[in-house]
Homo-oligomer: A and B are copies of this chain.
C-alpha cells in the first residue's frame, strides 16, 4: 500500500469538498434531530452548517439528496457494525452467534437512539426504503450464508427464507425495544429473542 503521489492541486480541493459535505451531513443530522423531518429545510441545514443555501446545492442536487445522504451515513455505520459482529461470530460457537449479534445491534441502536427515532419514526419509510433494504439485504446475506453452512443442523428450508424471517424479526424487536422501552431489561429482551430465533432455527 504505497501512497500515490498526490495530485498537486486536486488534493486540497477534494479535501475542501469532503469538508463541506461533512459539514452539511452533520448539520443535516442536527437539524433532523432538533426540528424533526417536517420542520427541516435546506435553508436551516445551510445555516446550521454555517454555509449559504447556494453552497449546499453545489454538493447535493436537492433536499431529498441531503436527507438521503444523512440517512445513508447512519445506515452504513449501523450496517458495518452489525456485519462486522456477525462476521466475527461466524467462526465461533453456534450458540453465541445470535446472542452476540443481538448485543452488538442493541449497542449500535442505543448509541444513536435519538437519530434512530427520527430515522424510524419520523422519516416516511419511502424516504429511506432503499437504504434500509440495503442494510437488511447485507445482513440477510450473511445470515443465509451462516445457515447454509449449518445446513443439516438447522430448520430445513431455503436459507434465504429463514434469513428473511430471522433478520426482520430481530430488526423489529430490537428497534422497538430501544424506541418503546417495554418493561423488560435488555438482558431479558436478548434472552427472549435469542430463545425465539434459536428455537425456530432448530425446529
| A positions within 8 Å CB-CB of B | 36-38, 120-126, 129, 133, 155, 157, 160-162, 164-165, 168-169, 171-173, 176, 180, 182-184, 188, 192-193, 195-200, 202-203
Closest to A169 in B: B169
Assess the B196–A184 pair: CB atoms within 8 A.
no
Is there contact, CB below 8 Å, between B169 and A173?
yes
Max chain B CB contacts within 10 Å: which of A124, A133, A162, A184?
A124
Copies of the protein in its oligomer: 4
- 7 smallest CB-CB distances across A and B, nearest first, come from A199-B199, A172-B172, A196-B200, A199-B203, A121-B125, A169-B169, A122-B124
Nearest-neighbor residue (CB-CB) of A203 within chain B? B199
User: How many angstroms between the C-alpha atoms of A123 and B124 in the bound complex?
Assistant: 5
Partner of A121, one of B124, B180, B195: B124
Q: What are some 18 contacts across the A-B interface (CB < 8 A)?
A: A36-B126, A37-B124, A38-B124, A122-B125, A123-B124, A124-B124, A161-B182, A161-B188, A161-B192, A162-B192, A165-B193, A168-B176, A169-B169, A169-B173, A172-B172, A195-B200, A196-B196, A199-B203
